[in-house]
Structure 1
């Protein structure tokens, strides 16, 4: 992959990570019990609120650091697909699923392409990339 594409992947990885850290933290700061009740109200088990919020924070941190980028991308795809199908789709495109769709596409990109530039995965796997 060329330098411009890797830089683009780095930007996507960091921005997506920051967004998910914010979303996960908001679920806890707003009172996770409120999120649990909301999950219950839309027909999802309340305990999933804890799982989703934790995955969003830890997955976001992993993306910023460049750890398990493809795996985190795949997990975020599942969360976003669920959010779009279960909640956002009924609200329509604008004001509904447009934002989640953009995050979903970013996650798909990271699943398919990864992001090696400034990624801690490079230290773990000790692979060398020549640009």
Structure 2
């Protein structure tokens, strides 16, 4: 296992944990309440259910490294939406009381990385890829 594969695994797991905990937080707040916030942004309230479940279960899938590319594409769209609809008016750093979009931009960059590269290192994606290739893991995608 190369240093890059270890680093990629750590990054993917932390990314997945971050999204999973944000999804859990939305569940704890109540998706109906989150839907009210979405309405205040001009978005449909039902989108809160999609986002909350995507964050919770998509984060879990990233942690184990399953469907990494697809989940990362969905998270990239989610972060782009968060920047455009919720944070852009606050600026990069935000205001005293409202957060900016700097963290969302970092998460967008990381999710874009995994959407392009897929999962490497310790992951179910890599395990299945190895099995599909007759026991040999592909070196590159």
- TM-score interval (norm. to shorter): over 0.9
Q: Distance in 2 between matches of 1:90 and 1:11?
A: 32
Quote the offset at 1:130 in angstroms.
Answer: 7.5
Distance in 1 (CA, whole Å) between partners of 2:57 and 2:128 is 18
The alpha carbon displacement at 1:47 in A equals 0.3
Q: RMSD of the alignment, in Å?
A: 1.6
Partner of 2:2: 3
Question: Cα deviations across residues 36-94 of structure 1 (Å, max 9, x unaligned)?
Answer: 11111111000000000000111100000010111111000000000001111111111
Q: Is the 8 A contact 2:19 2:59 kept in 1?
A: yes
Which segments of 5 or more consecutive residues in structure 2 lack a partner in the other structure? 95-99
3-state SS of 1:49 partner:
helix
Q: What is the distance in 2 between the residues matched to 1:72 and 1:9?
A: 16
| Contact kept? 2:23, 2:51, Cα under 8 Å | yes
Which protein has the larger Cα radius of gyration, Structure 1 or Structure 2? 2
Residue 116 in structure 1 maps to residue 115 in structure 2: no
TM-score scaled by structure 1? 0.92
Q: Structure 2-normalised TM-score?
A: 0.86
Contact 2:119 2:125 in 1 (8 A): no
Q: List 4+ stretches of structure 1 deviating above 2 A.
A: 122-125, 127-131
1:20 corresponds to? 19
SS in 1 for 2:93: helix
Aligned length: 130
Higher helix share: 1
